[in-house]
Structure 1
Amino acid sequence: MTAATVTRCAVSVAALLAAATLLTAGCGDGKPPREGRSTSAARHPAARSPGGQATSGTFNSTDIGWIQLMIAMDDQATLLLDLVPGHSSDAGVEKWAKPVATAYRGELVQLRELLARAGVPDTNPHRGHDMPGMVTEGELRTIKGTEGAAFDTLFLAAMREHLDQAAKIAHAQRSAGADPAAKRLAASVEKTSVTWRARLP
């Protein structure tokens, strides 16, 4: 990987978390970006509470942005994973997807517990946004309309992107977050995302 590639990756991850933070602060309008993914982060600085800290406990705005983004991403990925039993023709894909779907449901419980502890409502500020790693409603409809090898190809491509982005933003969260439990969960998400990505059929 070249230095330029590393820089581009770092910028894209920073932009994604900045966009998540901005939307968490209530600056999102609920509409998808018009000029590409996560463009709001490039137009506005990340919104932060005084001192960069959220209003509850040890959470800062990066923690909250990451938690809400991961809930949105995992919710959509779980819907995609649930399509596998009725659509895939590859036993390897089915074998891979089953434990991942179970793990995501457990991860979502932990994420929502963190959100509740932070005193933040369990709403989805990312609804309708087309962001890296997010399985959109349109993609779900398209993939749901396929079966067999066509389904497997689209499914694996979507999960590959999801896992890549989940690992990247979890790594960024470990560096910029403040809450110890959120950072521990981010470390777990990063590790499992890399592992599952490596084991994709």
Structure 2
Amino acid sequence: MSSNTRAVHGVFLVASVAAGTLVLAACGGNTAVQDMAAGSRAAPVATTATARPSAEFNDADVRFAQMMIAHHQQAIQMAELASTRASSTEVKNLAEKIKASQQPEIETMQGWLKAWGKPMPTGQMGHEMPGGMSDADMQKLEKAQGGAFDKRFLKMMIVHHKGAITMARAERKRGENPQAKQLAEKIITDQQAEVEQMRKMLERLR
């Protein structure tokens, strides 16, 4: 074998060994490379698993959701009485509007508390907050009929709405969760408009 032939053969031998090394690494020979690749793939999964289920929140947000759920539930109880006791069509329509707007808000806030891992409100919370009606108040409303019901309902609901507005303003000031603060703004706007409407309705009934 000539010197030129031996040189060419040596080049091919080196190239073959190098290629074989690369094949082994690709098939599992280079565990360090594989471990790094696996680690880079696993990182996003771990991040996703530990991500917060909802936006940031504080104690004021939790308190707002718990109390407003109970507050809305009581308003719906009052509104449901209007279908069989009210004499004014305007009062009945307002009661239906209150139920239609506040029930979805209750469900939204219940979803927040579940996501935050916080307890749902107790039934007594509605009596402890601004504008909350006592059991005696509710009993008087249940016993009223016709025009007497209309007047009592409007007077009570005005007080109830004012309480909700007070709570919503506190959330706007102290809360942290953007969705809760946005709902607080909506409650302020909607219920203030309804307070003005009820005042006018009450004036017409006197």
TM range (shorter): 0.5 to 0.7
5 Å-filtered alignment, 1:123-138, equals 123-124=121-122, 126-127=124-125, 129-138=127-136
Q: Name the residue aligned to 1:139.
A: 137
5 Å-filtered alignment, 1:138-177, equals 138-177=136-175
* SS of alignment partner, residue 160 of structure 1: helix
Q: Distance in 2 between matches of 1:68 and 1:178?
A: 15
Is there any run of 5+ residues in structure 1 with no aligned partner, and where? 1-55
Q: Name the residue aligned to 2:116.
A: 118
Q: Distance in 1 between matches of 2:159 and 2:132?
A: 8
Q: Distance in 2 between matches of 1:177 and 1:82?
A: 31
Which aligned runs of 4 or more in structure 1 are off by greater than 3 angstroms? Answer: 125-131
Q: For the aligned residues, what is the CA RMSD?
A: 1.8
Q: Distance in 2 between matches of 1:133 and 1:109?
A: 21
Q: Name the residue aligned to 2:80.
A: 82
Aligned length: 146
5 Å-filtered alignment, 1:1-201, equals 58-124=56-122, 126-127=124-125, 129-200=127-198, 201=201
Task: Give 1:100 deviation, angstroms.
Answer: 1.4
* SS of alignment partner, residue 141 of structure 1: helix
Shift in alpha-carbon separation, 1:185–1:113, aligned structure 2, 3 A: same
* One-letter code aligned to 2:111: E
Report which stretch shifted further, 133-142 or 60-69: 133-142
Task: Give 1:127 deviation, angstroms.
Answer: 3.9
Q: Distance in 2 between matches of 1:67 and 1:135?
A: 18
Q: Distance in 1 between matches of 2:130 and 2:166?
A: 11
Q: Distance in 2 between matches of 1:157 and 1:93?
A: 12
Specify the structure having the higher radius of gyration (Cα).
Answer: 2
Confirm or deny: 8 A CA contact 1:69 1:126 kept in the other structure: no
Deviations 1:111-138 (A, max 9, x none): 1111112111213174474443112332
* SS of alignment partner, residue 133 of structure 1: coil
Confirm or deny: 8 A CA contact 1:76 1:136 kept in the other structure: no
Q: Which has the higher contact order (CA 8 A, sep 6+)?
A: 1
Confirm or deny: 8 A CA contact 2:126 2:133 kept in the other structure: no
With normalisation by structure 2, the TM-score equals 0.66
Q: Distance in 2 between matches of 1:174 and 1:130?
A: 20
